[in-house]
Structure 1
Amino acid sequence: MTEHKHLLIVYHTQSGNTGQLAQAVLRGAGQVAEVDTVLMRAFDAGTEDLLRCDGLLLGTPENFGYMSGALKDFFDRTYYPCEGKLTGLPYAVFVSAGNDGTGAVREIGRIANGYGWKQVAEALIVRKSITPQALTDAEELGEAMAAGLSMGVF
Structure 2
Amino acid sequence: MSLLCDLFVNSREEALAYESTASLDRSNRIKRFAPVEFKGLTSLEFGTLWAILENEEWNPEKHMLIDVAFGEGGESWLHQFQDEYVALLSKLEETDVNAAAHEWSQTEELSCSADDIHPVVVALVRLSQQSISQCKGLYMWGSL
With normalisation by structure 1, the TM-score equals 0.30
- By percentage of residues, which structure has more helix? 2
With normalisation by structure 2, the TM-score equals 0.32
Structure showing greater relative contact order (alpha-carbon pairs closer than 8 Å, 6 or more residues apart): 2
